[in-house]
Structure 1
Amino acid sequence: MDIATEENNAKGRYAATLDGHTGEMTYSRSSPRLIIVDHTFVPDALRGKGVGQALAAHAVDEARKGGWKIIPLCPFMRAQVARHPEWQDVTEA
């Protein structure tokens, strides 16, 4: 599964495409060191295929590489952070 990053000014999106369908996780950059993940969408055709999990893990990997923190405003991302205590180094409650 390929995950692309799109960023325009203070808004961004991670997009995962699989089998011709695209899931997305959107975020806002509130500072150079902080993003707010505000929305995750996975179309019905991709449910149960790990797309949402892959997007969340990608966001964490990008935060580690970029040296920033994530505020998980999105309920899906918040639930993923709760399930992955190893992500605490890049997340803020």
Structure 2
Amino acid sequence: MDDPPPLTIRDVPERDRYEAAAGDALAGIVAYRRHGDDVVLAHTEVLVERRGVGGALAQAALDDIRARGLGVVPACPFIAAWIRRHPGYADLVPEAARHLLDAAGGDGAG
């Protein structure tokens, strides 16, 4: 069986989202909107049956946002759950949005 193509993740600001591609196929997205010095991560969607797409998107988006010196509002339950599992990213969440990390809920995408 052939290995799946590697994921390529990039910010697509004209669509307000990060996109993960596997070869030529769109594998997943993290939709966002800018709010001052914060990026509100609103929705994560995995479009293929492949483990790790959601996590790779979350990490790439958070790493990019950190590199830009911005904060993160994890409005998407999957992103909030991912940050809870990876507390090294919790410092990106402004105090006023920390309650989103405490919220109960599923972790949405894969």
Fold similarity call, TM over 0.5: yes
Offset of residue 45 of structure 1: 2.2
| Overall identity of the aligned pairs, in % | 33
**Corresponding residue of 2:38:** 34
Give secondary structure in 1 for the equivalent of 2:58.
helix
TM-score normalised by length of structure 2: 0.73
The gaps in structure 2 that reach 5 residues or longer are 1-6, 99-110
Amino acid at match of 1:25: V
**Corresponding residue of 2:47:** 43
Amino acid at match of 1:82: R
Offset of residue 18 of structure 1: 1.7
How big is the alpha-carbon RMSD for the aligned residues of Structure 1 and Structure 2?
Answer: 1.5
Offset of residue 22 of structure 1: 2.0
Offset of residue 44 of structure 1: 4.3
Runs ≥4 residues deviating over 3 A: none
TM-score normalised by length of structure 1: 0.85
Give secondary structure in 1 for the equivalent of 2:49.
helix
Higher strand share: 1
The gaps in structure 1 that reach 5 residues or longer are none
**Corresponding residue of 2:104:** none
